[in-house]
Amino acid sequence: MTTLAYRSSGDGPPVVLLHGNPTSSLLWRNVLPHLPGRRLAPDLIGMGDSPRPDIAYTFDDHARYLDEWFDALALTDVVLIGHDWGGALAADWASRHPSRVRALAFTEAVLKPMTWEEFPPAGAAVFRAIKAGDDLPAEFLSGLPPEYATTFHRPLLQLARSLPLGGEPPEVVVRIEAFGRWLATSPAVPKLLVTFEPAFDTMLTPLMIDWCVRELASLEVARRPEKAGHHTPEEQPEALAETLAGWLSRVTRPGERNEVFRRSV
């Protein structure tokens, strides 16, 4: 088993924060101190300080290593918070371990397969080039702290190519559709979607937000007035932490999950 590197602080109910691409647990450095509970933020395999085994770094690989990490720490009654691919991995793990999940929160997360028409135009041009080539464009890391530039190239490229656009890649589309069905049929699990006023193209377009409101059971949407692009934990950490802390204080109270269930059925 390969042990993932992770940040950990605090005591109490476990709150796991999952980063996406092209970042690491560093993404949460200005959010973690303001949250209650036992905060844990792993580096996905091949990213941050985690090992770099000779694997393909597919979505399945990331999910498998996360499974081992959750089991090694014996985490149960978990609140998961995910950004970008971290949102997809959080939903995927929750859908396969529903008895170990207390609640889920997302910001700028990959939660459904998309058509090219649904994707922001500027982003579509970048990802068409990524899917057709063998390298990442320079703008892929633009606006992020320089620490991320040292991340192992292979997982960044593979995750970028795996973005579920236009039905490709089919194995990722199938997996996301599977956890999507669980998100739609799990009213006992509170869910939070945190949005910001878009500073430029974001993944959570109004169309995507409307889809989440229609499809995700027991969803609360927190619409922040601050402006942010895709990397919300980097751009608005204080606002994001404030919203998450308030929500966590409610969903980690004894009996809160049952209250949500009763209101939803």
Chain centroid, CA 143 distance in Å: 19
Catalytic site includes residue 83: no
**Which listed residue (84, 92, 231, 234) is catalytic?**
84
How far is 109 from 142, CA to CA, in rounded Å? 19
Write out the E strands in the chain.
6-9, 14-18, 38-42, 78-84, 101-109, 191-198, 219-228
**215 among known catalytic residues:** no
Angle at 203 between CA 198 and CA 206, to 5 degrees: 65
Rounded Cα–Cα distance for residues 100 and 78 (Å): 6
User: Which position among 43, 62, 83, 108 bears the catalytic label?
Assistant: 108
* Cα–Cα nearest to 16, from 68, 91, 80, 89: 80
Active site (annotated) includes residue 231: no
Contact between 74 and 50 (Cβ < 8 Å): no
CB count, 10 Å around CB of 158?
Answer: 18
Structure tokens at 215: 């499809």
Spot the catalytic one: 19, 62, 230, 231: 230
Q: How far apart are CA 260 and CA 237, in angstroms?
A: 27
Catalytic residue positions, numbered: 84, 108, 230
